[in-house]
Amino acid sequence: MNRLLQNKILAASNRIEDWLVSLEKDVPLFMSADIRDAGFKIASIDANLYPAGFNNLHESWYPVAAAELKNALNRYGVAVGSKLLLVCEEHTRNLFYLQNVYALLNLLRLAGYDADAATQFVIEDGSYVSGAITLTTAQGDKLQMLSPETAAAKESDYAAVVMNHDSSAGTAEWIKNLKIQVLPAWQAGWHTRSKARHFQHYRNLTADLGAIVGVDPWFFSPLDAHITGVDINDDASRAQIAAQAEQLMQSIQARYDEYQIKEKPFVFLKSDHGTYGMAMLSFDNAGEIQDINRKEKNKLFKGKSSVVVKDYLLQEGVPTIVKTGEHFAENVVMLANNRFIGRFGRVNEQKDARTSLNSTGMYFKQIAMAESQNAETQVAALMTRVAGIALQREICEILNPAGKDLPGLCGALPA
Residue 392: domain span: 3-51+194-399
Same-domain check for residues 104 and 218: no
Provide the pLDDT for residue 413.
Answer: 53
Same-domain check for residues 59 and 41: no
- Residue 120 near residue 133 (C-beta atoms within 8 A): no
Same-domain check for residues 61 and 78: yes
The helices-and-strands tally (H runs, E runs) of the chain is: 11, 16
Same-domain check for residues 168 and 267: no
Position 405 in a domain:
no
Q: How far apart are CA 336 and CA 256, in angstroms?
A: 35
Same-domain check for residues 40 and 75: no
Position 74 in a domain:
yes
Same-domain check for residues 292 and 163: no
Among 275, 272, 327, smallest CA distance to 52 is for 275
Provide the pLDDT for residue 299.
Answer: 85
Same-domain check for residues 167 and 205: no
Identify the domain boundary among 133, 162, 188.
188
Position 66 in a domain:
yes
Provide the pLDDT for residue 328.
Answer: 97
Same-domain check for residues 134 and 118: yes
Provide the pLDDT for residue 62.
Answer: 99
Q: How far apart are CA 268 and CA 322, in angstroms?
A: 19
Same-domain check for residues 204 and 144: no
Same-domain check for residues 299 and 333: yes
Position 406 in a domain:
no
pLDDT tens, the chain, 415 aa long: 788 999 999 999 999 999 999 999 889 999 999 999 999 999 999 999 999 999 999 999 999 999 999 999 999 999 999 999 999 999 888 999 999 999 999 999 999 999 999 999 999 989 999 999 999 999 999 999 999 999 999 999 999 999 999 998 899 999 999 999 999 999 999 999 999 999 999 999 999 999 999 999 999 999 999 999 999 999 999 999 999 999 999 999 999 999 999 999 999 999 998 766 666 899 999 999 999 999 999 889 876 667 789 999 999 999 999 999 999 999 999 999 999 999 999 999 999 999 999 988 999 999 999 999 999 999 999 999 999 999 999 999 999 877 665 545 565 455 4
Q: How many domains does the chain have?
A: 2
**In Å, how far are 98, 103, 165, 253, 343 from 142, measured between CA atoms?**
10, 12, 20, 52, 26
Position 412 in a domain:
no
Same-domain check for residues 122 and 264: no
Among 69, 43, 49, smallest CA distance to 380 is for 43
Torsion sign across C-alpha atoms 363, 360, 222, 183 = negative
Identify the domain boundary among 188, 219, 249.
188
Q: How far apart are CA 30 and CA 339, in angstroms?
A: 9
Same-domain check for residues 247 and 378: yes
Provide the pLDDT for residue 415.
Answer: 41
CATH number at residue 135: 3.40.50.11280
The model's pTM is 0.95
Position 410 in a domain:
no
Provide the pLDDT for residue 332.
Answer: 98
